[in-house]
Amino acid sequence: MKKIVLTLLGTIALYGYVAAQLNSDSLFLSAIKDTKANNYSSAIQKAETILESFPNRVDVLIFIANVHAWREEYATALNYIGRANSIDPKNSELYDTWLNILLWSGNYKQLLEVLEIAEENHYPNKYNIVLKGAMALKNMGYYSKGLSLIERNPTLQDSSQIKTLYIELYRLNKPKVLSIYYATDQFKEENQEPQHLSFVDYAIKIKKHTLIPRLSYANRYGNNDFQIEADYYHVFTKRRYLYSNMGVSINQSVFPMYSAGLEQYLPIGKATETSLGGRYLKTETDNIFIVTGNLNTYYKNLWFMVRPFWVIHKSNNTLSTVFAARRYSANPINYWGLELLYGNSPDERYAAAKPSQQFLLKSYKAKILKNTAILDYHELMLSAAYTYEEYATNSFRNRFTFEVSLKIRI
């Protein structure tokens, strides 16, 4: 009789466990459906209910960690990953999620430590180890180490993503860039001579500092002029950096006598950036102040940007705006670009001539450009633009601009 009772109790317990398991699996499927509908709070609540009965379900712990990471709640996500790791440190899905969370949260040093733990526990996804490791090293500024990691795994370079990352690391590891630029403006009106602009600059990058001295030459309205200027970028942390510029004209016949700029760039989330700053131009008769900033974002292989310029002048204040878009290929050097401009942007070098007058006039511009990789690492840019511009009050003309730029990494 005792054996029968024990058997009966065991059967009931087993039935209860199986029923609970089936119920938890059904609840888990429902939680997964919630995430597809972006109902993350409901998904977490259902998954937590499962853990109340089955606290050692590693798949549920990893799932909750993922959901919190999607909500950018990285500290909470890592807490659940820690629980999963203490239960099953050899689970491959554990490292898939763990590495993603550390990469998304910018915790690159810990990511490299987890890569070592993953390899010790025979994590099979070598591709993910190389990709995430090289990405972390790139973001930490250890470009040569990132290159070495990829080069030690040559069979993985067939991957387009790793190949693209390798090219980017190579470019970043070559901090010196020689740029040569030429542009010509042609006018429909027969009595208007073509205008010319060219410059050469040399970018030097040392750790968080980039200095770009530049020499420009312009031939406008029968005048020749040279400008000596320099751009300086200082990188802080996590995509925060400062831009500054100073320039001086030699003949003071085309370029402003003096020019300066200052702008702070800040990240917003993972794919968006904003900035705020200003420009200053000094001519023989005017001091021109310009307030500017930009908002740009990535969506898949597309990039969009809007940049307004508020020109403060003693006779009038004006607003000009630039809209830009790019479509990137697998190699980020290769892209098509489109720009639309209303007004006269002080970043347009042709507008440097007689700026105190230029910014008060209307202008409508459309530009298309193609940037191409040469030997994987160097760049060639070609562009064509059409501008319908006011060259005097209520008088308009057609301007056609053609540009070519070559960047050589040394």
Segment among 40-44, 71-75, 283-287, 362-366 with least mean pLDDT: 283-287
In a domain, 144, yes or no: no
Q: Are residues 258 and 375 in the same domain?
A: yes
Domain assignment present for 22: yes
Residue 212 predicted with pLDDT over 50: yes
Instruction: Print the domain residue range for 112.
Output: 2-124
Q: Are residues 260 and 348 in the same domain?
A: yes
pLDDT band at 2 (very low <50, low <70, confident <90, very high): low
**Are residue 71 and residue 215 in the same domain, yes or no?**
no
Residue with tokens 């003096």: 258
Write down the residue that tokens 């590891």 correspond to: 173
Residue 340 CB: number of other CB atoms within 10 A? 14
Please report the pLDDT score of residue 345 as a whole number. 60
Within this chain, do residues 271 and 371 fall inside the same structural domain, yes or no?
yes
Residues 120 and 181 in one domain: no
Q: Are residues 402 and 309 in the same domain?
A: yes
In CATH, what number is assigned to the domain containing residue 87? 1.25.40.10
Whether 117 and 197 map to the same domain: the answer is no
334 domain residue, yes or no: yes
Is the same domain home to 379 and 258?
yes
Residue 181 sits in the same domain as residue 291: yes
Lookup: tokens for 92 = 């491959």
379 lies in some domain: yes
Write b or e for each residue in 249-282: b if 16 or more Cβ atoms lie within 10 A of its Cβ, otherwise e.
beebebbbebbbbebebeeeeeeebebebbbbbb
Is residue 54's pLDDT more than 70?
Answer: yes
* pLDDT in the model for residue 190: 60
Same domain, 280 and 187: yes
| CATH code at position 193 | 2.40.160.40
What is residue 159's predicted lDDT score, i.e. its pLDDT? 81
Phi first, then psi, for residue 295 (nearest 5°) are -130, 120
pLDDT of residue 157: 76
SS3 of 34, please?
helix
- pLDDT tens for residues 314-352? 767 788 899 999 998 877 789 999 999 998 765 555 444
Q: How many domains does the chain fold into?
A: 2
Exposure class string for 137-174: b at 16+ Cβ within 10 A, else e: bbeeebbebbbebbeebeebeeeeebbbbbbbbbbbbe
Q: Is residue 104 part of a domain?
A: yes
The whole-angstrom separation of Cα 250 and Cα 225 is: 6
pLDDT of residue 20: 47
Compute the average pLDDT of residues 96-123: 94
Mean pLDDT of the chain: 86
Q: Do 339 and 227 sit in the same domain of this protein?
A: yes
Per-residue pLDDT at 354 exceeds 70? no
- Asked whether the predicted pLDDT for residue 41 surpasses 80, the reply is yes
Convert the pLDDT of each residue in 5-21 to its tens digit.
444 444 444 444 444 45
Phi, psi (deg, nearest 5) at residue 381: -120, 130
pLDDT tens-digit readout, 84-106: 999 999 999 999 999 999 999 99
Would the pLDDT of 4 be above 60? no
Q: Residue 152 falls within a domain, yes or no? A: no
Pair type for strands 272-282 and 302-312 = unpaired
Task: Give the pLDDT confidence of 230-261 residue by residue, as tens digits.
Answer: 999 998 876 799 999 999 999 888 888 999 99
Confidence label for 1 from pLDDT (cuts 50, 70 and 90): low
Is pLDDT of 206 > 90?
Answer: no
- Is residue 166, in this structure, part of any structural domain at all? no
Name the domain boundary from 124, 148, 169: 124
Q: What is the mean pLDDT of residues 50-64?
A: 90
Query: Read out DSSP for 121-174?
Result: TT---HHHHHHHHHHHHHHHT-HHHHHHHHHT-GGGGGSHHHHHHHHHHHHHT-
- Domain-embedded: residue 258: yes
pLDDT of residue 19: 45
Backbone angles phi, psi at 316, to 5 degrees: -170, 155
> How far is 127 from 58, CA to CA, in rounded Å?
23
- Give the residue with greater pLDDT, 228 vs 359: 228
93/204 same-domain check = no
For residues 246 and 229, is the Cβ–Cβ distance under 8 A? yes
